[in-house]
Amino acid sequence: MECVACGGAAISERPERTAQGYRRFRCRDCGKQFNERTGGSLNRTLLRGIEFTYEAVRDWEAKLTPLLIDNLRRRRGGGSRVRRSWYVDETYIKVNGRWCYLYRAIDRTGALVDVMLSETRDMAAAKRFFRSAKAVTGVTPARVTTDGHDS
* Per-residue confidence (pLDDT) for residue 66, from 0 to 100: 83
Task: Name the residue type at position 66.
Answer: P
Burial class of residue 77, CB neighbours in 10 A (0-12, 13-18, 19+): exposed
Sign of the CA dihedral with 59 first, then 64, 65, and 67 last = positive
pLDDT at 78: 52
> Across-strand partners of 92?
101
- First-to-final CA distance of the chain: 63
Query: pLDDT means per 10 residues in the chain (151 residues)?
Result: 85 89 90 81 60 83 83 64 84 92 87 89 92 88 82 60
pLDDT computed for residue 73 by the predictor: 65
CA distance 145 to 126: 13
* 118-136 residue pLDDT tens: 999 999 999 999 999 988 8
pLDDT at residue 67, as a whole number: 83
Helix (H) or strand (E) holding 137: helix 123-137
CA distances to 93, 94, 100 from 97, in Å: 10, 6, 10
Which pLDDT belongs to residue 2?
82
